[in-house]
Chains A and B, each alone.
Chain A
Amino acid sequence: SQTIHQWPATLVQPVGSPLSLECTVEGTSNPNLYWYRQAAGRGLQLLFYSVGIGQISSEVPQNLSASRPQDRQFILSSKKLLLSDSGFYLCAWSGRGLYNQPQHFGDGTRLSIL
């Protein structure tokens, strides 16, 4: 069966520091991968999605970036964090198919910026 791993689970970072969140998927090949952010008590905002190695689509202009160095690895980065980057970051994957496939979420990283 497929599993998705995200780490770290929680992170406290000072303003202006860099960021690297990692997500890996097991048990499937060539997945679509997604990064979402959820502010406290709010909905899910799509940040990036990827349909293959090196292919990244950005949905919201911001100081974050994403990379997909391997088929089942998705990384979210920032060179300098802002206070507004605080939130719950969720990675998700979906399979390939003619029609939309369900998205499955990781456990998330709770990021606090001080």
Chain B
Amino acid sequence: GENVEQHPSTLSVQEGDSAVIKCTYSDSASNYFPWYKQELGKRPQLIIDIRSNVGEKKDQRIAVTLNKTAKHFSLHITETQPEDSAVYFCAASRGGRRALTFGSGTRLQVQP
């Protein structure tokens, strides 16, 4: 089955700096890669996703890149703000009826 590894487990940045979180996946047939943000005690919320037919996707300060050959994808947050502080999860799926396989999460702390 699919295995998703996520790094780093914790990340501390200064407000205004960029943050990068990286994930690798094992199943070359995976074709859908969402990212979720989870604030303490809350539900995970989808912040951006990418499909295997594109290499990069941006939404304001958030971008995701995908390298299918190397089987890794990354989340980039620019101009970080204190409200970006949360746990971020990457995930991967093969599509069809397959459910998501999640990474172990990255706790991002943005220092004001």
Q: Spell out A's residues near B (CB within 8 Å).
A: 32, 34, 42-46, 49, 51, 57, 59, 90, 99-100, 102-108, 110
Contacts and interface: CB of A to CB of B under 8 A. Distances in A.
Q: Which size class do B's interface residues fall under?
A: 20 to 34
B45 A105 contact: yes
Given A43-B105, A44-B44, A103 B100 contact: yes
Interface stretch (B11-19, B54-62, B66-74, B89-97): B89-97
B46 A32 contact: no
- Prevailing SS type, chain B contact patch: loop
Contact of A49 (B32, B41, B99): B99
A100 B43 CA distance: 20
B65 interface: no
A46 B99 contact: yes
A45 B100 CA distance: 9
B103 A100 contact: no
A76 B95 CA distance: 24
Contact of A32 (B36, B42, B49, B97): B97
Nearest to B94: A100
B89 A51 contact: no
B31 A104 contact: no
B104 A42 contact: yes
B51 interface: yes
A46 B51 CA distance: 21
A108 B49 CA distance: 22
Contacts of B89: 43-44
A43 B104 contact: yes
B81 interface: no
A34 B89 CA distance: 17
